[in-house]
Amino acid sequence: MTDTAALPSAPLPSASLPRPHSPALPLPLPHSPRRVAVFGAGYIGLVTGACFAELGHRVVVRDIQPERIDLLRSGDVPFFEPGLGDLILRNKERLSFTLDVHEAVRDAEVVYVCVDTPPTASGDADLSRVWAVVDALKDTASHLVAVVVKSTVPVGTGDRVRVALDEAGLHHVGYASNPEFTAEGSAVDDFLRPDRVVIGAFDEATARWVEGLYAGVDGPVETMDVASAEMVKLAANALLATKITFINEIATVCEATGADIEHVARAIGRDHRLGPYFLNAGLGYGGSCFPKDSRALRAMASNSGYPFQLLNAVIEVNELQPRRAIQRLKSELGGLRGRRVALLGLTFKPGTDDMREAPSAVIASRLLAEGAEVTCWDPMARPGPVQPWSSTTRHDTVDDAVSDADAAVLVTEWPELVDVDWPAAARRMRHPLFFDGRNLLESTAMLDAGFTYMSVGRATRHR
């Protein structure tokens, strides 16, 4: 890589309005390990910090929660993510944690903003945590090379941050958007071996400096203007959410016509133009990204005067999907009042303890509203004493959860559920009805085990 002193001070291509002030060349390229401050010790911040430390950089992660920082300093991770704990332990000489802004920024060359941007009542992203970081830099960041936002933010946020940095006298500090594309359960691998690294900057020098931080990462780098980088994250998640919702709509038609969604999805996925990914019919998408980002993109479009009708339909169908499962159970059982229903899996996906926007919460709430008793099993989820979970009964084993139940609903496709002794489980139930909300199990085997078997996108099969 050539030194930036030989590069022209060229802006990256953009179709937007004229850029705010951009820092002048030359900027030092990160040939050697850099000093990185990461604001936010959640999923994205911790993975970002630990992975940058793995790449050889010296990293300080700052958060505002004392209990979280204490936990990390003691060597524990506040949530489950495969490989993350080992990564933090292996890089403990290059990775530290603090509550203090000045300690985090004191020696830093780059600040990564990895704070949460939850939805507001209008569906817009709440950027208060982002602005809190920007405000904290005004008196502490005279020596910084760049500020990089990895948090998911609306298009146009970078322009506003650039103006705020300029007004604070930080004209020399570059700005970049570097959205994350990590999935819970595979976040470390997604960071170190990504499909792509997206870097949006107002000038080529900043883009190349940030790109240098990723030396050693096995994946292509896409550089572009800031607005386009901000849009990439929202558009990618909206497209994936649309694909999930589309296959769930096809599944509903399959149920009505006698077609089998598993056969349909497998054949569709063999088309090289479409691919097999995100074509698994189920109870709908959940987690921290798809619901939030879809609503944020819809709100952003609405604020611009454009009613994003396709995305409106995606969100509506996804919200209805777990409720359709309740209606099918109610029809099969002749009502839910007084029935006991076991929920198998609570997290929004296997391999994580995250329950944000999980379909299980909607299903449990609806069952309780219909007068059912709800029992639960999950190998990792630890829901707090809040509704609907405070009105349910947790069990440590699947057998205990389904004991005396009138129905069992597989909500999360935990691999442990494949190895359950289902004939024995059926004998423990009052009414061996099984709703496979992820089409994980083989229908004939469940029939042979003694169940009436219901699934998504296929007709109910009775014993």
Query: What CA–CA distance (Å, rounded) separates 353 from 165?
Result: 37
Number of other residues whose CB lies within 10 A of the CB of residue 267 = 9
Asked if residues 410 and 446 have their Cβ atoms less than 8 Å apart, the reply is no
Asked if residues 9 and 206 have their Cβ atoms less than 8 Å apart, the reply is no
Query: What CA–CA distance (Å, rounded) separates 155 from 371?
Result: 45
Query: What CA–CA distance (Å, rounded) separates 323 from 64?
Result: 37
Which of 144, 152, 47 is closest to 101 using CA atoms?
144
Query: What CA–CA distance (Å, rounded) separates 311 from 297?
Result: 8
Catalytic residue among 51, 254, 289, 376: 289
289 catalytic residue (yes or no): yes
Query: What CA–CA distance (Å, rounded) separates 189 from 195?
Result: 10
Handedness of CA 387, 392, 398, 404 (dihedral sign): negative
Query: What CA–CA distance (Å, rounded) separates 317 from 357?
Result: 15
Query: What CA–CA distance (Å, rounded) separates 66 from 69?
Result: 5
Asked if residues 340 and 375 have their Cβ atoms less than 8 Å apart, the reply is yes
Query: What CA–CA distance (Å, rounded) separates 432 from 228?
Result: 52
The residues annotated as belonging to the active site are: 289
